[in-house]
Structure 1
């Protein structure tokens, strides 16, 4: 028995030694020292901040790959593609200057061919095009930045402010790969200041800095401790305007799924507690809220922010997809005019929104950016000129798990609202 154990141990040692040798063996795949021929018939397609180079491979059975060597911001870069491809991409250029790229055919023995020099002249890089598209404006509590990103490049925007001694101070980063969009920087008093905005790509190329003087519009966060659930108080006065429920049945107030997910969780200040209505209700559902239970204030609403139920439910399940928000100062008046603009004469439509996700992917498939956007909370603005109101009604037309459906439900982690007190 002891001899058998010794034999097994010896064989294990041999196997481990062989495996270790194989793992560390980084020698060429072949001993053939023949120099491969160079690539031929090179053609260049210049792209935004990049170039696509196509070529004909040499007739060499021992060929393994083609590599390109070029200089990017003073550093030598290398791109390799297998012998099964007949083109390669060089990218990361922050200007349109002509450059030389050296192409090499490489054998299985790691023997390189003579270089073939190719001249490229990248088109205007995405950061420059994005920078030229920048438009800024004042918004509630800060600055609004809009952009066009035709190339869908991965872009980082940095926003700066000029301090009292003339130094730039970092304010915010915003990441995007969307073809167009916008973002806001908030939290500033209504004092004019100089702002700076520039774009940066993943190769650390920088655009120029846009300098603008902007005075933020005054706003404040509404005190959510003064919010009140009034679903039962005004359930008979829900405005029955299109879109009606797809089932054709009357709209209903959102009934709690269980005592674990009450409506107060919608505005309790926590982005982990959840409000959840019962399932399989006729859509739309209606969620009215008193913004000041003391009755002392009305508000011109500027924006709101929602935090989805995340995890496996991000952009899915009962998270809102399409909704309207209505407002009134007389919630017990039966509304008969869908175009009413006076909140003292009934409910007024304040706005309508459809939630989109950055990737544009189908429900159930989320990118990292989708997940990050949901986790950070999503902000929406009310149209300019909305009247001051005390009550709002969230009319949930459909949710991500029931887009255009007959029945569904609604859930959110949190809702925050900003505006001007009147």
Structure 2
């Protein structure tokens, strides 16, 4: 009994000692605020400034904070004590204004403020606005743009492009389309517009809610129809195996058999919940010729990736096309008659790595990726989709592909 008491008392002592040892003092218990930053130097950048300074010699320093007003809202930016600069962004004009800088300690004590005057350069959206190239096209018009600020990467240069048209009855602009991009250069296409003279407008917005003026242009869209997919036929055997289009005359077009129930016709059934899927480990390229059923001057095509059937990670990965060409002819029996209609490398709008998709990436993939044909190309009856590689094997020698839907548009001849 005595031994049991000794053991219990010993355990209690160990527990009490352990509890006492677990107590931790604050990492930094300084009560005094740090000295302020000094020698602030201002460099104007598009939509903001970069402020370089000398940090105070204080062991308790944690970061530097900038406070400023953005369209009536109090904002702040922070920079670690590992850096001697801070970037303040989001301004939509070039007016002179004040920002206030504080050195902040580990116990969140603020130094005395240092207020400086800044004058930002024009926001990146104005460079994009000045680069806009708007022209009438099939079923609408195209908008070409350049965004130099996006060359450095990052979301701060991303833009939203709004498209409006003038409603004569309401006597006001009506917004009917929009696009999002983080690319340094691109081309958007506005579609589904009747071939009548209309006043259209384009404006830009950035992530801070800054807007440009509206670029106005009166245009008449060119006539365009969607080709009837019920007339499409698999032209890999017509009635004998077809030779690959010029200049690859030595190859036979692969009869890329489907995987499971994911047959060829699912590319053209209007159902985005299913998809065509070839068998795997084919030698690249994979040729997929299609008889359109009519001769047409093609204006564009829209490709829907496989986005479902396994989670949200399918867009811009797996067997979805990454690089391809489109060829065409009016005489499938003559290999030398084929001409190259298009060459594309699919670009993820966010520019993020393979396997990392933003919500915008997913939304754009689900809406379909649109590609334009050169309007100077001749009419064709047959097209051949030449898969060069997929997202799972970029530059690979073997692979496979799946496509949920493929639509062609143009003017029937």
- Larger mean CA deviation between 78-87 and 155-164 belongs to 78-87
1:281 aligned partner: 282
Q: 1:252 and 1:77 mapped to 2: Cα distance?
A: 61
Q: 1:280 and 1:48 mapped to 2: Cα distance?
A: 48
For residues 146-188 of structure 1, the C-alpha deviation after alignment (integer angstroms, 9 at most, x for no partner) is 1111112121111110001321001111111111112011101
For residues 107-157 of structure 1, the C-alpha deviation after alignment (integer angstroms, 9 at most, x for no partner) is 445443322121211112111111111110011111211111111212111
- Larger mean CA deviation between 40-49 and 274-283 belongs to 274-283
1:94 aligned partner: 92
Note closer, same or farther for the CA distance 1:106–1:353 as it changes in structure 2 (3 Å cut).
closer
1:328 aligned partner: 329
Tell whether the 8 Å contact from 1:277 to 1:411 is kept in structure 2 after alignment.
yes
1:302 aligned partner: 299
- Alignment equivalent of 2:36, drawn from 30, 35, 38: 38
For residues 300-336 of structure 1, the C-alpha deviation after alignment (integer angstroms, 9 at most, x for no partner) is 11100011123444333322233232333332x232x
Note the 1:15-414 alignment, pairs <5 A.
Answer: 32-152=30-150, 153-165=157-169, 166-242=171-247, 250-292=251-293, 297-310=294-307, 311-331=312-332, 333-335=333-335, 337=336, 346-360=337-351, 363-414=354-405
For residues 257-295 of structure 1, the C-alpha deviation after alignment (integer angstroms, 9 at most, x for no partner) is 235011110100011211111222222222222222xxx
Q: 1:235 and 1:323 mapped to 2: Cα distance?
A: 25
Tell whether the 8 Å contact from 1:50 to 1:93 is kept in structure 2 after alignment.
yes
TM-score by length of 2: 0.84
Unaligned runs of 5+ in 2: 1-25, 151-156
Note closer, same or farther for the CA distance 1:254–1:36 as it changes in structure 2 (3 Å cut).
same
Tell whether the 8 Å contact from 1:243 to 1:397 is kept in structure 2 after alignment.
no
Structure 1 position 368, deviation (Å)? 4.3
Partner of 2:50, secondary structure, is strand
Structure 1 position 382, deviation (Å)? 1.2
Partner of 1:216, secondary structure, is coil
Tell whether the 8 Å contact from 1:229 to 1:288 is kept in structure 2 after alignment.
yes
Structure 1 position 364, deviation (Å)? 4.0
TM-score by length of 1: 0.82
Note closer, same or farther for the CA distance 1:240–1:180 as it changes in structure 2 (3 Å cut).
closer
Q: 1:138 and 1:66 mapped to 2: Cα distance?
A: 51
Aligned residues: 379
Tell whether the 8 Å contact from 1:52 to 1:88 is kept in structure 2 after alignment.
yes
Unaligned runs of 5+ in 1: 1-27, 338-345
